Amino acid sequence: MTGRVAGDQVTIADVARHAGVAASTVSYVLSGKRAISATTRGRVLASVRALGYHPNAGARALASRRANVIALVLPLRTGMQVPVVMRFATAVVTTARRHDHDVLLVTADEGPAGLHRIAGSALVDGVLLMDVELEDSRVPLLRELALPGVLIGHPTDSSGLACVDLDFRRAGELCVEHLAGAGHRRVALLGAPAAVYARGTGFAHRTRAGVLAAADRFGVDAVARPCEEGPAAVRRDLEALLADHPDVTGLVVQNESAVGPVLATLPLLGRRVPRDVSVVAVCPDELAEQSGLTGVPVPAEEVGRQAVTLLMRRLRDEPVPEVTLLEPRLTVRETSGGARR
Amino acid sequence: MTGRVAGDQVTIADVARHAGVAASTVSYVLSGKRAISATTRGRVLASVRALGYHPNAGARALASRRANVIALVLPLRTGMQVPVVMRFATAVVTTARRHDHDVLLVTADEGPAGLHRIAGSALVDGVLLMDVELEDSRVPLLRELALPGVLIGHPTDSSGLACVDLDFRRAGELCVEHLAGAGHRRVALLGAPAAVYARGTGFAHRTRAGVLAAADRFGVDAVARPCEEGPAAVRRDLEALLADHPDVTGLVVQNESAVGPVLATLPLLGRRVPRDVSVVAVCPDELAEQSGLTGVPVPAEEVGRQAVTLLMRRLRDEPVPEVTLLEPRLTVRETSGGARR
DNA sequence: CACGGTCGTCGAAGCGCTTCGACGCACCGG
DNA sequence: CCGGTGCGTCGAAGCGCTTCGACGACCGTG
């Protein structure tokens, strides 16, 4: 019987009556918190299905002090890598559902007050914080509120928290290692928009650090530049870069929206890819594949899954590692090759 | 006092004690459902602030039979216009918050069962359905569940529902009117991916219909083609189109991810924009601005705001119009001009 | 055979809030 | 001066669920 009409809510008492047991027994069948005989369990479950029973979320939350809802705090600021965020969000929802939790969407523009509200009203059991900055004001708040939380990205001080992130530093290193290994002696990072660095966003800073460190290690010249969004801006920034450093033969791009324009612009500037310039990107796998890009994919799904899993552990008061860094892997495709002599 | 620690929840009883009134009085102050003297109200509000009181969401939902949460059902299928969805989502969250509601993120892959669950458990008071297809299986379900809902996009049969959408048909017409007015006699629509048409997604079908109807009306030749995602695919589809119809001088693009590649590819095919070919797009404003595109912006924020507002009305049992179509407007920028003679 | 120990079930007590009816009080008109 | 009428406040009764302690029934053991 699929067609239950809302309004005439089926309650646990209805199920109990239908199955000829006490309401508490129904509860125990559903939660598994006490042993119930197979026959009783069978009868109860049959009644549940027959009546189309769904526990009332509010009542359950009130009585059990668990809402079975987690909050996903999305930034939605300028310079965001929208498709990455989206894939991440779906992974979070899917994984949370698998743990019998729902996801409340919170935008960062409510700011710290939003966290207070959510914590105070017991709307959610825990929080997933995205786009964490190196010095993020929400982080101490999270600690203070004693609200179980998992961060995507990691702040400078991650003590007492749980963070998940791609190891962007290593990703930056990988890109340069690849280029250096192919004989490139002068490389450049075309990074995130300047505003993103200014905010102190971890992934941007860490990638840059990785690029520069690896360049240093390999004795390669490296220059790092921010890059704004939009085809025209990308083109301008790229032209400026190549004007200032005409002998760059390896380009690391970490700006999803710049990838297309960069590949489109290089030929116009007289540089063929990969003959004259090799391009390596840190961007969603999808995009890289479409454009035949060599690069390090950002595993949005994997991060989302891990984040939820960690949060669920915290909700069960299990110990979780403070920092979980995913190992980046570089995929070689068509946009990179040996350096021109 | 901002720093309240979760765990020692402040209850309405605490506030009542602190203010020297009954709990019910506090409730009435907060809800405004009964007259309360100014002095009492003042004292209560002061106590609320002093204690950092936030009503327990579960208890409130249980007692009032309103969760103050709405569900946003996102599709997240292939061929989605991700940034549009995102901007839409933020507008929804922001507007909902303004009406004192939170937003639960539900992905369509839970399917109709998800709606059943959500309705049955009284988790949410209403539903926003995105990416509605012409014959959408969720629509009859919504009617049957008597779950207040607002659709983004509109199905063939919208009776008894509330829909909000940009008038895509009109948008398609506007594009062709603009081109025809500039003297173009042969135009083409480079549309959404084939899968989107196959699903019967309203906006794609309606735009195409508008383009073809206006072309007919103006005595202009028109051809409509789907267009897959990814730079390589776009390039292929565009080349094929121009090979089959070399005399097309006006191009309508309705595929966010195709805009960049189209503009990049046309010069390579020996067509300058707008000298040889005019390009008009139906896409997010942001993108159009960045690329100097003439086109009809998709007002994601406006749709989101309207949708929430309508849903709030429905929750208050106020009558709402069955279909709300937003009037599209065409913005002329640099990619369109007079037809070459 | 009496005893303690499980196992399976039940009843009742809340969880924190809203809401309904009742009540006390001041103020009005007759 | 008294009864009616609002107004402002209070107390109590749930909302539907979980959970705790209790209680038979049944088992094995000394």
In the predicted model, is pLDDT for residue B53 greater than 70? yes
Quickly give B69 CA vs D12 C1' distance in Å: 29
Quickly give B289 CA vs C30 C1' distance in Å: 76
In the predicted model, is pLDDT for residue A42 greater than 80? yes
Average pLDDT over residues A126-131: 92
Binned at pLDDT 50, 70 and 90, residue A169 comes out as very high
How many CA atoms lie within 13 Å of B240's alpha carbon, on the beta-carbon side? 14
Quickly give A37 CA vs D29 C1' distance in Å: 25
Average pLDDT over residues A51-73: 96
Chain A residues whose CB is inside 8 A of the B105 CB are: 72, 89, 93, 102-105
Contact B150, B310 (CB under 8 A): yes
In the predicted model, is pLDDT for residue A226 greater than 70? yes
Average pLDDT over residues A261-287: 90
Determine if strand C comes within 7 Å of the CB of B122: no
In the predicted model, is pLDDT for residue A321 greater than 50? yes
pLDDT of residue A78: 55
In the predicted model, is pLDDT for residue B43 greater than 90? yes
CA gap A117, A133 in Å, rounded: 22
Could you tell me which residues are beta bridge partners of residue B187?
B222, B250
Please answer yes or no on whether A94 and B82 come within 8 Å at the CB atom: no
In the predicted model, is pLDDT for residue A228 greater than 80? yes
Contact B158, B151 (CB under 8 A): yes
- Top pLDDT among A164 and B157 is at A164
Residues 6+ apart with CB under 8 A from A231: A260, A261, A264, B260, B263, B264, B290, B291
pLDDT of residue B84: 77
pLDDT of residue A288: 85
Determine if strand C comes within 7 Å of the CB of A11: no
What is the side-by-side strand order in the sheet with B186-190? B221-225, B186-190, B250-253, B278-283, B294-297
Determine if strand C comes within 7 Å of the CB of A40: yes
For testing contact with chain A, the best of B104, B290, B317 (most A CBs within 10 A)? B290
β-pair type (B102-107, A102-107):
antiparallel
DSSP H helix total and E strand total for chain B? 14, 11
- Top pLDDT among A40 and A84 is at A40
B245-259, pLDDT tens digit by residue?
A: 999 999 999 988 898
Domain A69-166+300-326 has CATH 3.40.640.10: no
Average pLDDT over residues B100-126: 91
- Top pLDDT among B80 and B191 is at B191
pLDDT of residue B138: 87
Give how far Cα B125 sits from Cα of B46, B115, B302, B314, B315, Å: 30, 12, 22, 10, 7
Please answer yes or no on whether B89 and A97 come within 8 Å at the CB atom: no
Instruction: Please count the other Cβ atoms lying within 10 Å of the Cβ belonging to residue B334.
Output: 12
Binned at pLDDT 50, 70 and 90, residue B332 comes out as very high
Average pLDDT over residues B41-57: 96
Q: Match domain A168-297 to its CATH number in 3.30.1330.10, 3.40.50.2300, 3.30.200.20, 3.40.50.300.
A: 3.40.50.2300
Distance from CA of B116 to the nearest CA of A (A): 8
pLDDT of residue B159: 84
Chain A residues whose CB is inside 8 A of the B48 CB are: none
pLDDT of residue B81: 63
Please answer yes or no on whether A121 and B56 come within 8 Å at the CB atom: yes
- B95 to chain A: nearest residue by CA? A107
Lowest mean pLDDT among A104-113, A208-217, B324-333: A104-113
| Per-domain boundaries in chain B | 12-55, 69-166+300-326, 168-297
DSSP 8-state symbol, B133 = B
pLDDT of residue B79: 54
In the predicted model, is pLDDT for residue A275 greater than 60? yes
B220-240, pLDDT tens digit by residue?
A: 999 999 999 888 899 999 999
**Chain centre distance of CA A71:** 14
**pLDDT averaged over chain A?**
91
Q: Match domain A12-55 to its CATH number in 1.10.260.40, 2.60.40.10, 2.60.40.420, 2.40.30.10.
A: 1.10.260.40
In the predicted model, is pLDDT for residue A6 greater than 50? no
Q: Say yes or no: do domains A12-55 and A168-297 share a fold.
A: no
Give me the percent of chain A exceeding a pLDDT of 90.
70
In the predicted model, is pLDDT for residue B6 greater than 50? no
Binned at pLDDT 50, 70 and 90, residue B1 comes out as very low
In the predicted model, is pLDDT for residue A211 greater than 50? yes
Is the bond preceding residue B274 a cis peptide, omega within 30 degrees?
yes
Residue B300 in 3-state DSSP?
helix
Q: Which sign, positive or negative, has the C-alpha torsion B27, B31, B33, B37? A: positive
Distance from CA of B77 to the nearest CA of A (A): 10
Chain C nucleotides covered by protein, CB below 7 Å: 7-12, 14-21
**pLDDT averaged over chain B?**
91
CA gap A5, B117 in Å, rounded: 12
Average pLDDT over residues A318-335: 94
- Top pLDDT among A134 and B63 is at B63
Phi-psi bin for B131: left (phi > 0), alpha (psi -120 to 50), beta? left
Phi-psi bin for B109: left (phi > 0), alpha (psi -120 to 50), beta? alpha
Give me the percent of chain A exceeding a pLDDT of 70.
95
Please answer yes or no on whether A122 and B3 come within 8 Å at the CB atom: no
Chain A residues whose CB is inside 8 A of the B232 CB are: 290-292
Structure tokens given for A112: 């710290």
β-pair type (A163-166, A149-152):
parallel
Average pLDDT over residues A215-242: 93
Task: Give the burial string for A60-83 (b: 16+ CB within 10 Å, else e).
Answer: bbbeeeebbbbbbbbbbeebbbbb
